[in-house]
Amino acid sequence: MWPRTILITGANRGIGFSILQALATRSPPDRYLLAARSTENGELAIRELRKLGVQAEIHVVELDVANESSIKRAEREVRKQYGRLDILINNAGIAILEKPDGSNIQESYAQTFNINITGVALMMATFLPLMKESSPDARIINLSSARASLHLSSTGNLPPSRVISYSVSKTALNALTVEYAKTEPTVALYAASPGHCKTAFNGFRGTKDPLDGSKVIVELALAEKGRYENGFWQMEGDENEASRVPW
């Protein structure tokens, strides 16, 4: 079983970087694949992780989730170099502010869905065969958001979304996670809500350190097999286990 191989998309900065830092600190025997669309930024991130005391094995995998050839090339590289993939963390994601006059709605929806949905669907379809062949405990964790929750949004628990295309894309991501869970009974499939984290994504206006935001992902990745059912999970405040987010 050991070492597991764990791949995180968009791991050169933001929450993805913190997920890698937290996972590699908690479980140093595992092997980490830092996927980034720029190899140079990936290498810089590894140097930063070393300065933070991370000693685990980490390799950069060049991967642009908006590019199907790049995803397929990355899968061939992972298969050839490491021969296995145990945990796939689909973290890369974007939001594009819609202009008040509505002039960039088409661009905003097309780009956001291309990365947040099509990219994740391609990642799962491309890497699932290797995961199922090679891992006795395969897990996929998709970075969702409280904004994805139709229950929270429709019961007055969240203010109106400032970027509707983003919120809608995360609801669609949850639907994608549910659909894959129906057809992949041997793989654990999670949507995870990190909370509002201080990253470039929101101009560093979030309320949580991204390391705190990464806690739920670390918990879902490292908990003993079967501890968490497929579903939508978060970890807030001082909780030491994940709790469900309503769909």
Ligand X SMILES: NC(=O)c1ccc[n+]([C@@H]2O[C@H](COP(=O)([O-])OP(=O)(O)OC[C@H]3O[C@@H](n4cnc5c(N)ncnc54)[C@H](OP(=O)(O)O)[C@@H]3O)[C@@H](O)[C@H]2O)c1
Quick note: the x/- pattern for ligand X over 127-146, rule CB under 6 A, is: ----------------x-x-
Instruction: Report d(CA 238, CA 235) in Å as an integer.
Output: 8
Nearer to ligand X, 128 or 191 (CB): 191
Instruction: Please identify which of the residues 32, 82, 170, 215 carries the catalytic annotation.
Output: 170
Count of helices and strands (H, E) across the chain:
9, 8
Whether 166 is catalytic: yes
Examine residue 200 and tell whether it contacts ligand X (CB under 6 A).
Answer: yes
Is residue 3 reached through a cis peptide bond, with omega within 30 degrees of 0 on the bond before it? yes
Instruction: Please identify which of the residues 80, 99, 109, 166 carries the catalytic annotation.
Output: 166
Q: Report which residue type is found at 32.
A: Y
Examine residue 197 and tell whether it contacts ligand X (CB under 6 A).
Answer: yes
Nearer to ligand X, 132 or 158 (CB): 158
Q: Which residue stretch of 7-15, 81-89, 153-161, 225-233 sits at the interface with ligand X (rule: CB under 6 A)?
A: 7-15
* Tokens, residue 244: 């469900």
31-36, strands of its sheet edge to edge: 57-62, 31-36, 5-8, 87-90, 139-143, 188-193, 231-234, 243-244
Nearer to ligand X, 16 or 231 (CB): 16
Do residues 147 and 158 make contact, with C-beta atoms less than 8 angstroms apart? yes
Helix crossing, 164-183 with 105-113: angle to 10°?
30
Examine residue 231 and tell whether it contacts ligand X (CB under 6 A).
Answer: no
Do residues 32 and 57 make contact, with C-beta atoms less than 8 angstroms apart? yes
Member of 24, 34, 94, 141 binding ligand X (CB under 6 A): 94
Give the interface size with ligand X as a residue count (CB under 6 A): 28
Positions touching ligand X (CB under 6 A) are 9-10, 12-16, 37-38, 41, 64-66, 91-94, 115, 143, 145, 194, 196-197, 199-202, 206
Which residues are annotated as catalytic? 166, 170
